Amino acid sequence: MRDLSRYPFDIRPLNAEDGGGYLISFLDFSECISDGETPTEAIRNGLDALAETIAALEDLGLPIPERDSGGDARSL
């Protein structure tokens, strides 16, 4: 089982026009984004989305990126 928390991500606040809250994206998975009302909720939702993204890639027989060697990107 993969440790999903080891994948680097970027988290940033969304402006009111975009619905507010926080957006999370994963550096190794451009197709995987999520959001939440708080940073904690965005991270939790993002990890759920990441698990689903990895499962879909596995089902399709596509390669799963390894954790980015460029370091952790966790920002607000």
pLDDT attached to residue 76: 47
Per-residue pLDDT averaged across 27-33, rounded? Answer: 93
Percent of the chain at pLDDT > 90 equals 72
CA atoms within 13 A on the CB side of 43: 14
Domain ranges in the chain?
8-59
Instruction: Give the C-alpha separation, 20 to 3, whole Å.
Output: 29
Q: Are 6 and 69 in contact (CB under 8 A)?
A: no
Specify which residues 20 forms β-bridges with: none
- The pTM is what? 0.83
Q: Are 35 and 21 in contact (CB under 8 A)?
A: yes
Instruction: Report the chain's C-alpha Rg in angstroms.
Output: 13
Q: Are 43 and 49 in contact (CB under 8 A)?
A: no
